[in-house]
Protein backbone atom coordinates (compact mmCIF):
# COMPACT_ATOMS: atom_id res chain seq x y z
CA UNK A 1 0.00 0.00 0.00
CA UNK A 2 2.91 2.36 0.68
CA UNK A 3 3.91 2.81 -3.01
CA UNK A 4 0.27 3.56 -3.91
CA UNK A 5 -0.09 6.14 -1.12
CA UNK A 6 3.25 7.76 -1.95
CA UNK A 7 2.23 8.09 -5.62
CA UNK A 8 -1.16 9.53 -4.62
CA UNK A 9 0.63 12.19 -2.58
CA UNK A 10 3.08 12.99 -5.39
CA UNK A 11 0.20 13.32 -7.87
CA UNK A 12 -1.68 15.50 -5.38
CA UNK A 13 1.42 17.68 -4.95
CA UNK A 14 1.67 18.23 -8.71
CA UNK A 15 -2.02 19.13 -8.79
CA UNK A 16 -1.69 21.50 -5.82
CA UNK A 17 1.41 23.25 -7.20
CA UNK A 18 -0.32 23.64 -10.58
CA UNK A 19 -3.38 25.15 -8.91
CA UNK A 20 -1.91 27.19 -6.05
CA UNK A 21 1.78 27.58 -6.86
CA UNK A 22 4.57 26.17 -4.73
CA UNK A 23 4.43 28.86 -2.04
CA UNK A 24 0.69 28.40 -1.42
CA UNK A 25 0.81 24.62 -1.59
CA UNK A 26 0.39 23.29 1.93
CA UNK A 27 0.11 19.93 3.60
CA UNK A 28 -3.61 20.64 3.79
CA UNK A 29 -4.02 21.33 0.03
CA UNK A 30 -1.99 18.24 -0.82
CA UNK A 31 -3.84 15.92 1.56
CA UNK A 32 -7.19 17.30 0.36
CA UNK A 33 -6.23 16.63 -3.29
CA UNK A 34 -5.09 13.13 -2.37
CA UNK A 35 -8.15 12.41 -0.23
CA UNK A 36 -5.83 11.34 2.60
CA UNK A 37 -5.10 12.62 6.08
CA UNK A 38 -2.34 15.19 6.44
CA UNK A 39 -0.55 12.94 8.92
CA UNK A 40 0.27 10.48 6.17
CA UNK A 41 2.56 13.07 4.55
CA UNK A 42 4.64 13.21 7.71
CA UNK A 43 4.59 9.42 7.92
CA UNK A 44 5.92 8.87 4.39
CA UNK A 45 7.92 12.03 3.69
CA UNK A 46 8.72 13.64 7.04
CA UNK A 47 7.27 17.02 6.04
CA UNK A 48 6.10 19.07 3.07
CA UNK A 49 9.71 19.65 1.95
CA UNK A 50 10.36 15.91 1.76
CA UNK A 51 7.27 15.48 -0.41
CA UNK A 52 8.28 18.39 -2.66
CA UNK A 53 11.72 16.82 -3.16
CA UNK A 54 10.17 13.41 -3.86
CA UNK A 55 7.90 15.04 -6.44
CA UNK A 56 10.87 16.64 -8.22
CA UNK A 57 12.69 13.28 -8.21
CA UNK A 58 9.54 11.67 -9.65
CA UNK A 59 9.43 14.19 -12.53
CA UNK A 60 13.16 13.75 -13.16
CA UNK A 61 12.77 9.98 -13.18
CA UNK A 62 9.90 10.25 -15.68
CA UNK A 63 12.20 12.15 -18.05
CA UNK A 64 14.92 9.54 -17.62
CA UNK A 65 12.57 6.58 -18.12
CA UNK A 66 10.99 8.14 -21.21
CA UNK A 67 14.44 8.33 -22.82
CA UNK A 68 15.52 4.85 -21.70
CA UNK A 69 12.32 3.40 -23.19
CA UNK A 70 13.17 4.79 -26.63
CA UNK A 71 16.82 3.77 -26.87
CA UNK A 72 17.79 0.33 -28.12
CA UNK A 73 21.21 -1.22 -28.72
CA UNK A 74 20.86 -0.37 -32.43
CA UNK A 75 19.94 3.29 -31.91
CA UNK A 76 22.36 5.52 -33.82
CA UNK A 77 23.99 8.48 -32.09
CA UNK A 78 22.08 10.94 -34.24
CA UNK A 79 18.80 9.16 -33.47
CA UNK A 80 19.71 9.17 -29.77
CA UNK A 81 20.09 12.96 -29.94
CA UNK A 82 16.66 13.18 -31.56
CA UNK A 83 15.19 11.00 -28.80
CA UNK A 84 16.65 13.28 -26.14
CA UNK A 85 14.89 16.22 -27.75
CA UNK A 86 11.63 14.29 -28.19
CA UNK A 87 11.72 13.29 -24.53
CA UNK A 88 12.04 16.90 -23.40
CA UNK A 89 9.07 17.89 -25.57
CA UNK A 90 6.98 14.77 -24.89
CA UNK A 91 3.26 15.11 -24.17
CA UNK A 92 3.79 14.65 -20.43
CA UNK A 93 6.17 17.64 -20.49
CA UNK A 94 3.44 19.71 -22.16
CA UNK A 95 0.65 19.04 -19.65
CA UNK A 96 -0.41 22.18 -17.81
CA UNK A 97 0.04 20.65 -14.35
CA UNK A 98 3.51 19.37 -15.24
CA UNK A 99 4.67 22.62 -16.81
CA UNK A 100 3.45 24.71 -13.89
CA UNK A 101 5.11 22.34 -11.45
CA UNK A 102 8.43 22.40 -13.32
CA UNK A 103 8.35 26.22 -13.44
CA UNK A 104 7.59 26.45 -9.72
CA UNK A 105 10.40 24.06 -8.86
CA UNK A 106 12.90 25.87 -11.07
CA UNK A 107 12.04 29.20 -9.48
CA UNK A 108 12.19 27.78 -5.95
CA UNK A 109 15.51 26.04 -6.65
CA UNK A 110 17.22 29.43 -6.45
CA UNK A 111 16.18 29.62 -2.78
CA UNK A 112 16.30 25.98 -1.69
CA UNK A 113 19.57 24.03 -1.57
CA UNK A 114 18.05 20.58 -2.12
CA UNK A 115 15.88 21.69 -5.03
CA UNK A 116 18.93 23.48 -6.46
CA UNK A 117 20.90 20.24 -6.20
CA UNK A 118 18.13 18.36 -8.02
CA UNK A 119 17.96 21.03 -10.72
CA UNK A 120 21.72 20.79 -11.14
CA UNK A 121 21.46 16.99 -11.48
CA UNK A 122 18.80 17.47 -14.17
CA UNK A 123 20.93 19.99 -16.05
CA UNK A 124 24.07 17.86 -15.85
CA UNK A 125 22.16 14.74 -16.94
CA UNK A 126 20.85 16.51 -20.04
CA UNK A 127 24.30 17.82 -20.99
CA UNK A 128 25.92 14.45 -20.29
CA UNK A 129 23.38 12.57 -22.44
CA UNK A 130 23.87 15.04 -25.27
CA UNK A 131 27.68 15.01 -24.94
CA UNK A 132 27.80 11.21 -25.06
CA UNK A 133 26.27 11.12 -28.54
CA UNK A 134 28.01 14.24 -29.82
CA UNK A 135 31.39 12.70 -28.81
CA UNK A 136 30.73 9.86 -31.24
CA UNK A 137 30.26 12.38 -34.06
CA UNK A 138 33.02 14.95 -33.40
CA UNK A 139 36.03 15.67 -31.23
CA UNK A 140 35.55 15.88 -27.46
CA UNK A 141 35.96 19.64 -27.13
CA UNK A 142 33.44 20.40 -29.88
CA UNK A 143 31.07 17.77 -28.47
CA UNK A 144 31.03 19.48 -25.08
CA UNK A 145 30.36 22.86 -26.69
CA UNK A 146 27.55 21.36 -28.80
CA UNK A 147 26.02 19.62 -25.76
CA UNK A 148 26.02 22.91 -23.85
CA UNK A 149 24.47 24.81 -26.76
CA UNK A 150 21.87 22.14 -27.42
CA UNK A 151 20.87 21.90 -23.74
CA UNK A 152 20.38 25.67 -23.67
CA UNK A 153 18.32 25.47 -26.87
CA UNK A 154 16.08 22.72 -25.48
CA UNK A 155 15.53 24.50 -22.16
CA UNK A 156 15.00 27.86 -23.85
CA UNK A 157 12.53 26.59 -26.42
CA UNK A 158 10.59 24.62 -23.81
CA UNK A 159 10.47 27.62 -21.48
CA UNK A 160 9.38 30.07 -24.19
CA UNK A 161 6.68 27.68 -25.36
CA UNK A 162 5.36 27.14 -21.83
CA UNK A 163 5.44 30.82 -20.88
CA UNK A 164 3.57 31.80 -24.03
CA UNK A 165 0.87 29.23 -23.10
CA UNK A 166 1.22 27.73 -26.55
CA UNK A 167 -0.62 24.72 -27.86
CA UNK A 168 0.77 21.30 -28.77
CA UNK A 169 1.54 22.53 -32.29
CA UNK A 170 3.97 25.08 -30.89
CA UNK A 171 5.64 22.37 -28.78
CA UNK A 172 6.05 20.32 -31.97
CA UNK A 173 7.52 23.33 -33.82
CA UNK A 174 9.94 23.88 -30.93
CA UNK A 175 10.93 20.21 -31.00
CA UNK A 176 11.55 20.39 -34.76
CA UNK A 177 13.59 23.58 -34.36
CA UNK A 178 15.77 21.90 -31.72
CA UNK A 179 16.26 18.87 -34.00
CA UNK A 180 17.20 21.12 -36.89
CA UNK A 181 19.69 22.88 -34.65
CA UNK A 182 21.32 19.56 -33.69
CA UNK A 183 21.65 18.63 -37.36
CA UNK A 184 23.29 21.99 -38.06
CA UNK A 185 25.74 21.44 -35.19
CA UNK A 186 26.64 17.99 -36.53
CA UNK A 187 27.16 19.44 -40.01
CA UNK A 188 29.29 22.27 -38.63
CA UNK A 189 31.44 20.26 -36.20
CA UNK A 190 31.09 16.64 -37.32
CA UNK A 191 34.02 14.63 -38.57
- For residues 171 and 161, the answer to whether their CB atoms sit within 8 Å is yes
CATH class as words, domain 53-189: mainly alpha
**Domain boundaries in the chain?**
53-189
Burial label for 54, CB within 10 Å (0-12, 13-18, 19+), is: middle
- For residues 103 and 115, the answer to whether their CB atoms sit within 8 Å is no
Q: Which residue has the higher pLDDT, 135 or 167?
A: 135
Say how far apart CA 105 and CA 111 lie, in whole Å: 10
Q: What's the whole-number average pLDDT of the chain?
A: 92
pLDDT value for 97: 86
Tens-place pLDDT, residues 150-184: 999 999 999 999 888 767 788 999 999 999 999 99
Say how far apart CA 153 and CA 31 lie, in whole Å: 37
Q: Break the chain down into helix, strand, coil percent, rounded to 5.
A: 80, 0, 20
Tens-place pLDDT, residues 57-112: 999 999 899 999 999 999 999 999 999 999 999 877 778 888 888 889 888 889 98
Beta strands in 33-78 (DSSP E): none
Per-residue pLDDT averaged across 10-36, rounded?
A: 92
Going 159 to 161 to 164 to 168, the CA torsion angle's sign is negative
Amino acid sequence: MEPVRRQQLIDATIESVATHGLQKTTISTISKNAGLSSGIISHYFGAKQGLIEATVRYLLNNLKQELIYKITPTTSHVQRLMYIIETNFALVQQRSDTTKTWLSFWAQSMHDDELHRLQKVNSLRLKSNLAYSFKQLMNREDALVCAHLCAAMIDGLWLRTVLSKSDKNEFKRSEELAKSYVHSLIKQYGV
